[in-house]
Amino acid sequence: MLNAASLFARSGNEMRWEQVDPGVWKGTFGTPEDYSLLEASGAEPLEEGFLSLPDVEIPALHADITATVQDGKTYLSIPLEKKEQIYGLGLNFQSVFQRGKVLNLHVDHYGGRDDGRTHAPVPFYVSSRGYGILVNSARYLTVYAGSGIRKDSPHAEKAKDRNTDKSWTAQPYSDAVSILIPAEGVEVYLFAGPAPLDVVRRYNLLCGGGVLPPRWGLGFTQRTPTLYTSAQVEKEVDDFERYGYPLDFIGLEPGFGPEGIAASRGKEQNLEENPYLETVAKEIRDQYMAGEYLLVAPMFVGETSRKVVLPEGNWYDFYTGDYVGNGETITVSPGLERIPVFVKDGGIIPMMEAVLHAPRSGQKVNLEIRHYGKSDGACRLYDDDGETYDYEKGVCSWRNIKVKRQKNRKLKGSISKSESGKPDSVNKVTWVFMTEGNESSEL
């Protein structure tokens, strides 16, 4: 139930705000079109999910979000602070930071540039200040992500002579995200944090709560050309198995013929938070977080060594368990056999035996559960039948994995029992405490 405090009526070119869910407000300006992204999706908010998130007030910048309509088009302006960074706006291949770009959000093949024309443009972004913006429009949008300069801005720089003034720059400070919507109004959703991950959680819940991928959906995939027939797709699958290459499922390119739909099957019919990185002074494009605890720093052609920027916290070498640093830049020379990978203190990494695809229904595999560092740790292990979509009906299981330090100061691991009647592909479990050196087994 919304109360009077949930409504923020504005005048002129400012938005009218209304709270629609905890930590989520809808702003309306002009006459938004009936057909929108949220309307087209048909998704209903997962209301119970909001209960676990912290209570928050509407972000203060809501009062400074403005819009104008001119010639049937809406010009939206969202303020930016000088050191603020923004992330998101759909699929991007080359960068995480979006500030300073001009993006034309348009569904298209990827042309080699992060300019908004990709397979999955999304008019949603997250700020390093702990809020998010969704423009609920199904139109092609043009986003000036801190790249447009307004003469009427209170922070507008004075005009400079580029020939005589050494302080002249081709990209002076821009204090706003400006978005062009080809319609006579717009709906904007404002998500509070307080942390960027909380913003993503609220966005996810507003859109229905997200979709849990099947176990094989996280495996190895191969895409076939658009003009492949069903027979060619099946031959591709057979060739992968014949040559011993891993494969879990085949992706069919847009335009694949109707006669090939039957070939869209998983192999054999089928085991953090990192939505956005924290703001840093310079974007790091050659390393990434795989979840909350794994840092991956690939080697590139011709390199025998490389620098790795370690975030705050104690980090350990994935292969040896040795301590490597905390909030610093290190240099590594791993050789050709290893990709540099590092694990955060308390990280638990379940390792499965090497196989060519996800385990079949009823197949048992041994697990080696590794723990890194000196801190306690916890995670959950997901399992399903590896073949069907029954996991969408609840036919899946979660097992709790914990590592705690005992009274004798040694670390000990535990894994909860499998749920009766639910998928269980775990056979023997071996615990390896990579940093402290001890090992134990259990059935």
The amino acid present at 83, given as its one-letter code, is K
Q: What is the distance between the alpha carbons of residues 208 and 158, in angstroms, rounded to a whole number?
A: 47
For residue 438, name the pLDDT band (cuts at 50, 70, 90): low
Count of C-beta atoms within a 10 Å radius of residue 45: 18
Residues across the chain: 443
The amino acid present at 380, given as its one-letter code, is R
pLDDT for residue 280 is more than 60: no
Q: Quick check: do 288-344 and 348-442 share a fold? A: yes
The domain ranges of the chain are 4-206, 215-263, 288-344, 348-442
pLDDT tens-digit series, residues 399-431 = 999 999 999 999 999 999 988 889 999 999 999
Which CATH superfamily groups domain 4-206?
glycosyl hydrolase (family 31) (2.60.40.1760)
What pLDDT score was predicted for residue 266? 40
pTM for the structure as a whole: 0.73
pLDDT tens-digit series, residues 92-140 = 888 889 999 999 999 888 888 889 998 899 999 999 999 999 999 999 9
Q: What is the distance between the alpha carbons of residues 41 and 124, in angstroms, rounded to a whole number?
A: 15
Which CATH code, of 2.60.40.1180, 3.40.630.30, 3.40.50.300, 1.10.15.40, is assigned to 348-442?
2.60.40.1180
**Phi, psi for residue 206 in degrees, rounded to 5:** -60, -35
Q: Thinking of the domain 288-344, which architecture would CATH place it in?
A: Sandwich (2.60)
CB 434 within 8 A of CB 321: yes
